[in-house]
Amino acid sequence: MADTRIRTTPELHSELLEAALDAARAGDAARVEALLGPVHPADIADLLEQVSGSDREALLAMGSAVIDGEVLSEISDAIREEVLDALPDHVVADALRELDSDDLVDIVEDLEAEDQGRLLGAMLAADRVAVEQALAWPEYSAGRLMQRELVVAPEHWTVGEAIDFLRGAEHLPDQFYHVILVDPRMSPVGYVTLGRVLSSARDVALKAIAEDSFRTVAATDAEADVAYIFNQYHLISCPVVDGSGRLVGVITIDDAMNVLDEEHEEDMLRLAGVGDEADVSDGPLETVKRRLPWLVVNLFTASLSALVISQFEATITQIVALAALMPIVASTGGIAGTQSLAVAVRALATRDLTRANAGRVVRRELLAGVMNGVGLALILGAAGTLIFGDWQLGLVLGLAMIVNQIVAAMGGVLVPLTLERMGLDPALASGTFVTTLTDVMGFFAFLGLATMMLI
């Protein structure tokens, strides 16, 4: 059935928000339900994330008029605990009954122990067991990502037997893409798409129409590795097996793509030095806690640049123009380093940058750095000569630009590669190292060349 719920435009989003807030403040639950009922759960979650704490409390007081299972699963982790604490137990219980096991695990796993106990107590017995078993797997593993709701068939069945089973089953997953074929030990041996089942004759063996793309993942595999497999091999779903090879669950493409999206978001936030879970709904204190440590680190690294500059105090005193030109060298180097760094970190995350091609990538960056440096050197060298009337100063500026562009290009790829080889997250500290490297080397090259050639 087509999803007929409203997708809000920015204008409609704003109008709905104001109308729903007015109704919630007035305690008119029926009006809130009429306004938000046709709205997609993801958009309702956005509304809850964007309002102030007091307005969110007013909306949540409307209970099931605002919150259902889908909304609960879409809400940002940053406010999910607050939302759950504000809802009555019966509203939470009703919402949880609508969710698949993977969504339940996603909600429960990051909560405090007290809140975990509350939610587990509100679940149906079967759901509670499934969630507790999933939580026994390592964090960020396929076992945490998978859902228990799946459709299996013995490997010797025909299409007709599978169709009869599906039609007669009392409970099937709300959405599934494959019928998983298993042997007598409950080990998956293949899968068949629903399209092939429906388009094949009843007497055709399921094994005869099994997909070539079939593969399995272990429950202990890292979810990032699972997401890579989905993206690399264009999978729709993938069975999950335990240590003995028995089928324990299935991961679907929507969950795998969520992992990829989260990995990308974390990389971007870490590169910016704001932590990996920053959110617009964070309060000032949370924001400061995430950002201040990296600002302090940058304060110390900036001191290295100041130390380098201080060694050339006499040169700067004699040629004051150097002080005006230093930021140009540092800034262009920093930008070039960030460009190279962003490409390298993303390539490492997607596994496009490996040991096999690292040498070629480094050589490419080196050549690009030289070419960028020469291009900028010609422009800035000529400008420096014309503006200050000193061709030697222009030459120094141009040579320093070439050096810093090479350093920036090489640092942008070698720093994340080195951190990755050391088992560290390349996105976590690469930005700080590369910025420090380009600043220090840029100032040293520019002022050092000026001292040798102009003094």
Domain boundaries along the sequence of the chain: 10-136, 152-267, 284-454
245-280 tens-digit pLDDT = 999 999 999 899 888 887 777 766 666 555 555 555
> Alpha helix locations (H) across 389-425?
391-421
427-452 tens-digit pLDDT = 666 777 888 888 888 888 888 888 88
pLDDT at 210: 95
Domain 284-454 - what CATH class? mainly alpha
Sequence letter at residue 64? S
> Which superfamily, per CATH, for 10-136?
MgtE N-terminal domain-like (1.25.60.10)
Task: Judge whether 120 and 132 are in contact, CB under 8 Å.
Answer: yes
- Residue 2 pLDDT grade (very low, low, confident, very high; cuts 50, 70, 90): very low
Q: Within 10 Å of residue 348's Cβ, how many Cβ atoms?
A: 22
Contacts of 125 (CB under 8 A, 6+ apart): none
Alpha carbon distance 303, 197 (integer Å) = 67
- Residue 1 pLDDT grade (very low, low, confident, very high; cuts 50, 70, 90): very low
51-76 tens-digit pLDDT = 888 888 888 888 888 888 888 888 88
Q: Within 10 Å of residue 291's Cβ, how many Cβ atoms?
A: 15
Predicted TM-score of the model (pTM): 0.67
- Comparing 10-136 with 284-454, is the CATH topology the same? no
Edge to edge, the sheet with strand 152-154 lists 152-154, 178-182, 188-193
CATH 1.20.140.10, domain 152-267, yes or no: no
Longest CA pairwise span in the chain (Å): 93
Most confident of 143-152, 166-175, 388-397: 143-152
Average pLDDT over residues 153-172: 93
Alpha carbon distance 419, 312 (integer Å) = 32
For residue 98 the two structure tokens come to 């609508």
pLDDT at 258: 86
